[in-house]
Amino acid sequence: MDFENGIGSDPEIQKAMQDELKRQREGLEMIPSENFTSMAVLEAMGSILTNKYSEGYPGKRYYGGNQYIDVIEKAAQERAKKLFGVPYANVQPYSGSPANLAIYLAVCKPGDTIMGMNLTDGGHLTHGWKTSETGMMFNSIPYHVKADGLIDVEEARKLAAEHKPKLIWIGATAYTRPLPFKEFAEIAEQCGAYLVADISHVSGLVVAGAHESPVNYVHIIMTTTHKTLRGPRGAMIMVTEKGMKKDPELGEKVDKVIFPGMQGGPHNHTTAGIAVALKEAATPQFKAYGNQIVKNSRALAEQLKKNGIKLVTDGTDNHMVLIDLTPFGKGLGVFVQDALDQAGITVNKNTIPKEPASAFYPSGIRLGTPALTTRGMKEPEMREVGDLISQVIQETMKILPNKVLPDDKEARQAAIRAFKEQLPSNAKFKELKARVLVLCNRFPLYPKL
């Protein structure tokens, strides 16, 4: 084996990686759950740490040769505990979904009643949605948002009183306002439930002081590490002081579920990347970054509204903006997503509250500002981006023959294909893509790569 060969020894994969770097550099990455890590995190992720098996926990491994891995994992644990103000942290979960499943298995039994936000209202699959294993394994009672798009706290209170859930989730994947931790703490207290905050989307904002922390209200916190926290693709489970008072063995239960219950050896290169990201998140620069994310998101929302674009909750208080396309028609998210992609703006189609179409062909678009803020963009650029997005939407509506996605499956696929085929030759999208490139070139990404 030639240890000196780099990725250049595999031209096919090397080219795909170079093409992806070019795509990231030359486009506006606006999916709220995506971000750009630092070079330090990238170096940790692409390191020799991936070579080592480390089943177990620091000081209690099933393999030898883990003395330096223990240093790294202990550092990640201690940094997480200090940053979030908790007594316990497990940094081994491979990602958010298995981390959430581990939390269920630590405090619930199959068939127990659980509560979480309805998926199409902005919740997450793993909070009990019917097609998720979490919705099949447990008796899931979803709560919803009101007509104004805000969480219906009173409905949640009534449902909890009626069904007495063992676990309640407070957290979302498509919600633009502050999460009501205090109100849900009262609800959980009244029915004796474990309250779990899934702050995957807003954990970086929590650290920066741009979103209230759940630490004084909930028993368990789960966060992924790659969104606003700007780390590698991983996750952490943390138990609060309140959680330890409810069950002093809660941390040990989580540990046992992660290993040996669900996972084998941790991904040590990811653990190192998490440790690096947590150190970065403890700096004054990161606090300024987190607050700028919110400023940018609000500036983007205001510009979209000025251009006549309807927003869920009529604005935002976090990193995310949700566009409601129903004034143009139902189920149009797929068309606008493809059109924006053609213009060099990466977003994702998304359901809106009271979705009139479906989760697969929704009527909304989800936008986020974390990655653009990482590049150094501020409010003036967000206003420019808002104009670009508005023009893409307007041009999309001009070229759509009908403003409704067909209900028939074959007709629907034909309409989507026909729309995609005309995108590359559209003069307006070419013009907008050129403007996007000019904007991106003003804020270089990974210049040393």
Which of 81, 233, 287, 428 is catalytic? The answer is: 233
Which of 79, 177, 227, 230 is catalytic? The answer is: 227
Same domain as 264, residue 398: no
Which of 55, 155, 186, 212 is catalytic? The answer is: 55
For the chain, the domain total comes to 2
Strand partners, 223: 236
Same domain as 183, residue 57: yes
Residue 227 a catalytic site member: yes
Which of 29, 73, 198, 317 is catalytic? The answer is: 198
Predicted local distance difference test score (pLDDT) of residue 1: 60
Residue 233 a catalytic site member: yes
Contact 226, 201 (CB under 8 A): no
- Full residue range of the structural domain in which residue 138 is found: 45-281
Element at 197 (helix H, strand E): strand 194-198
Same domain as 329, residue 200: no
Got the DSSP string for 250-270? HHHHHHHIIIIII-SS--HHH
Same domain as 298, residue 277: no
CATH number for the domain spanning 437: value is 3.90.1150.10
Contact 153, 100 (CB under 8 A): no
Rounded distance between C-alpha atoms, residue 63 and residue 66, angstroms: 7
**pLDDT by position in tens, the chain (length 449):** 667 789 999 999 999 999 999 999 999 999 999 999 999 999 999 999 999 999 999 999 999 999 999 999 999 999 999 999 999 999 999 999 999 999 999 999 999 999 999 999 999 999 999 999 999 999 999 999 999 999 999 999 999 999 999 999 999 999 999 999 999 999 999 999 999 999 999 999 999 999 999 999 999 999 999 999 999 999 999 999 999 999 999 999 999 999 999 999 999 999 999 999 999 999 999 999 999 999 999 999 999 999 999 999 999 999 999 999 999 999 999 999 999 999 999 999 999 999 999 888 999 999 999 999 999 999 999 999 999 999 999 999 999 877 778 888 898 899 899 999 999 999 999 999 999 999 999 999 999 88
Q: In a 10 Å sphere around its CB, with 0-12 CB exposed, 13-18 middle and 19+ buried, how is residue 223 labelled? A: buried
Same domain as 363, residue 263: no
Same domain as 230, residue 302: no
What is the reported pTM? 0.96
Same domain as 183, residue 111: yes
Which of 26, 34, 43, 53 is catalytic? The answer is: 53
Rounded distance between C-alpha atoms, residue 147 and residue 7, angstroms: 52
Same domain as 264, residue 312: no
Residue 198 a catalytic site member: yes
Contact 234, 44 (CB under 8 A): no
Q: Which residue, of 254, 281, 308, is where some domain finishes? A: 281
Same domain as 309, residue 277: no
Residue 55 a catalytic site member: yes
Same domain as 192, residue 91: yes
For residue 176, being part of any structural domain is answered with yes
Same domain as 334, residue 387: yes
